[in-house]
Structure 1
Amino acid sequence: MGRYVLRRLGASVLMLVLVSVLIFVVLRLLPGDPTIARVGAAQNIDPSALAALRRELGLDDPIPVQYWAWVTGIFGGDLGRSYFSQFDVEVLIGQRLVPTLELSVAGLLLAVLFAVVLAVLPTVIRGRWLGRIVGGYTTLGMASPPFVFGIVLIAIFTVQLDLLPNEGYVAPSEDLAANLRTLLMPALTLGICLSAPLIRYLRASLAEVEQSQHVRTATGKGIRRRLVVVRHVLPNAMLPALTSLGITVGAVLSGAVVVEYVFRWPGLGSLIVDSVYKRDYAVIQSTVLLLAAVFVLVNLFVDLLYGVLDPRLRVGGRAEPARVPE
C-alpha cells in the first residue's frame, strides 16, 4: 500500500508539472499581445512605449525564464500580478473562490442526489417506461452543453414565471434567502449536467451487482425487492461508481466556467473568461493551475480511498482501482 501511495503521489506531481508547462506555453502561442490589449483602442502608440511596457511586465524575457520566475513565485506564495487591475493574483482568486466553491458544492450535491434516485428507481420499480425516461434524461444530459440548460431555466423561471433572478450573487452572510434564490438555477444547471454520467456509471454497476450470487440468494429468500436493492445491491454498486467521482469533479470545474458566465456568477470561471479576453496571462495561468491541482488531488484521494473501502482491492500490498463496468 505504501508503494502504491508513493507511486500515485509521484504521478500526481508529474501531472501538475506537465499541466503548468502546457498552460504557460499555450498561452504564449495564442494570437494577441497583453500589451496591445492593455492600451486598448488608443491611437498612435509609440513602439518604444510598448517595448517598455513589455519589459515592465516581463514579457520580453525568454519563455523558460518567464516560466521559472512564475514557478518559483508560486512556491514563495506569489502568483504574480494582474496586467490590468494591478492586483495580486492571489487577491483576485480569493475574491472569487467562495462563490465558485458554493456553486460547485451545491451542483455536486444535486448531481449525486439526482444520480442515486434516478439510477435506483428503475432497479426497484421494474418497468420499461421508467427505464426509458431515465435513459432519455441521461442521453440528453450528456449530449447537451450546460449553457443550453441554463438558457432553458432562465426562459422558464425568469422570463415566463418571474420567480428567480437570472444573474447576480448575494453572499450568504448578507442575506441567506437571497443567496439561495440566486444559487438555485446555476446549481440546478450544473447538477443536471453532472448527474447524467453518474447515472450511467451507477446503472451499469447496479446491473452487474444485481447478477451476483448473494443478491440472487437474498431474492430467493423472499426479501422485498426494495430491501434487496437498498441493503445488498446499492452498497456494493457504489464502490465501482466511485471511479466516476474524480471525473465528475473535472466536469464540475469545467462546467462551472460556462455556468458562471451564463448567470454572471462572480466566480473563478467568469474571472478566467474575462482574463482570456484581456490576455491577462498571470491570472489565467495561476487560476487554471489551481483548478487542475484540485482535479488531480481529488482523483488521488479517490484512488487511495479504494484500498480503505474495500480491502479486496489490495493486491500484493497495493491498492488497485476498481474497473467501472461498461
Structure 2
Amino acid sequence: MQRRCRRLSRFFIRRILLALLQVFIIATIVFSIIHVMPGDPALLALGTERQQDPAAVAEMRHKLGIDRPLIEQYTTWLRNISKFDFGNSLFNNEPIKNYLAQRLPRTLELAIISTIIAVFIGIVSGVIAALRRGSAIDVGVTTLTALGISLPVYVLGTLFILIFCINLKWLPASGFVKFSQDPAGHILRLILPSLTLAFGMSASIARMTRSSLLETLNKEYIQTLRAKGLSKKAVIFKHALRNALIPVITIIGLQFGNLMGGTVLVEYLFNWPGLSTLLVEAVSHRDYPLAQGCIIAIASLFIFSNMIVDLLYGFLDPRVR
C-alpha cells in the first residue's frame, strides 16, 4: 500500500511540474509574439492627440517599461505574472487582473454548465446505444453524434435562437444579467449558450462511451464474470462501465479545455461577456497587455484541466503510473 502511494505521489508531482513547465513555455511564446507584432503600445496608450509629442511618447514608453532591454522586460514580466500582476490596460489604465476577475467566472460558468450537461447526455446516450447495438436507438444516437460533431456552433446557436426565442418565445435571445440581480433571468439567458456548447461535446462523449463500452464488453474478464453467474447489471455497471470510462475521462478533459478557448463565437452570438470576447476586444484594440493576460489565463485553464484529467487517469489506471 505504501509503495502504491509513493508511486501515485511521484506521478502527481511529475504531472504538476510538467503543467508548470507548460505554463512557462506558453508565457514565453505569448511574450515573444506580442513583442514582434506591429505597432507601438506607447502610441496606442497616448491616443491621437499626443502621439506627435516626442517627450510624451518617451515618458509613456518608460512608464510601460518598453524602453528597457528585452531580456529585462521578459524577466520583469515573468516575475509579475507569477504574482498575478498582468499590468494595466492601455486604454483606461484599469488593472488587467480586474478584467480577468470579472470575465473569467462568466466563461467558467458557461463552460462548466455546458460540460455537466454534455457529460450527462453523452454518457447516458452512449451506454444506451452500446447496450442496444444495432437497434433503432443505436442508429439514432450514432446519427445525432455525427450531426453534433459536424455542425458548427454558430449554426446551431442561430437555429436555437430561431426556434426557442423567435418562434416559441420561450427564452431570451441574448444578453447577460448578474445572478445576484435577477437569478431567474440569469439562468434563462444561460440555457441556450450552454446547450449550444454542450451539443457538440456530448456527441464526442457519446461516441467514445459507446465504442469503449462495446470494446470492454468483449474482453475476456467480462466473459468470465458472466460465466460465473454474475448478473448482467452488475457486470455492466460495476465492472465494464468503470473501465470503459477511462478514455471517456480524457475526452471530457480535452473538450473542457477546448470550450475555454472555443466559446468566442457562442459568447459573441448570445452577447455573453466572458473571457473569450474580452480577448477579441483586446486584439481588435491592440491592447497588448490585456491580450497577454487573456491568453495566459485561457492557456493556463486548458493546461490545468488536462492536468486534472491526467491525475484522474493515473488514479484509475495503474498502468499509467
Question: What is the Cα deviation at residue 69 of structure 1?
Answer: 2.2
In structure 2, the residue matched to 1:22 is 29
Spell out, residue by residue over 1:262-287, the C-alpha distance to the aligned partner (whole angstroms, 9 max, x if none): 21111111111111111111111112
| TM-score normalised by L of structure 1 | 0.85
Q: 1:13 to 1:123 in 2, by over 3 A?
A: same
Question: What is the Cα deviation at residue 222 of structure 1?
Answer: 7.6
2:86 aligned with 1:79, yes or no? yes
Match runs of 1:26-175 below 5 Å: 26-35=33-42, 37=44, 42=48, 45-46=51-52, 48=54, 49-50=56-57, 52-175=59-182
In structure 1, the residue matched to 2:4 is none
Q: Which segment drifts farther, 260-269 or 152-161?
A: 152-161
For structure 2, list consecutive stretches of 5 or more residues without a partner in the other structure.
1-6
Question: What is the Cα deviation at residue 184 of structure 1?
Answer: 0.2
Spell out, residue by residue over 1:22-79, the C-alpha distance to the aligned partner (whole angstroms, 9 max, x if none): 1122223334454555566x48951625555444433444443332222111233422
Contact 1:81-1:88 within 8 A present in 2 as well: yes
Percent identity between the two aligned chains: 35
Q: Which segment drifts farther, 64-73 or 263-272?
A: 64-73
Question: What is the Cα deviation at residue 7 of structure 1?
Answer: 2.6
In structure 2, the residue matched to 1:182 is 189
Distance across 2 between alignment mates of 1:33 and 1:129 = 61
In structure 1, the residue matched to 2:285 is 278
Amino acid across the alignment from 1:150:
G
Distance across 2 between alignment mates of 1:157 and 1:282 = 39
Distance across 2 between alignment mates of 1:152 and 1:61 = 52
In structure 2, the residue matched to 1:233 is 240
Amino acid across the alignment from 1:82:
S
In structure 1, the residue matched to 2:3 is none
Q: 1:254 to 1:144 in 2, by over 3 A?
A: farther
Contact 2:157-2:192 within 8 A present in 1 as well: yes
Distance across 2 between alignment mates of 1:32 and 1:150 = 36
Distance across 2 between alignment mates of 1:132 and 1:106 = 28
2:203 aligned with 1:196, yes or no? yes
Distance across 2 between alignment mates of 1:130 and 1:62 = 65
Question: What is the Cα deviation at residue 294 of structure 1?
Answer: 1.9
Spell out, residue by residue over 1:185-239, the C-alpha distance to the aligned partner (whole angstroms, 9 max, x if none): 0100111122222223222211210102343345567877666433443222112
| TM-score normalised by L of structure 2 | 0.86
2:302 aligned with 1:295, yes or no? yes
Distance across 2 between alignment mates of 1:77 and 1:44 = 31
Q: Which segment drifts farther, 18-27 or 59-68?
A: 59-68
Spell out, residue by residue over 1:69-128, the C-alpha distance to the aligned partner (whole angstroms, 9 max, x if none): 221112334221011121101111111122122111111101101211221111222334
Q: Which segment drifts farther, 95-104 or 175-184?
A: 95-104
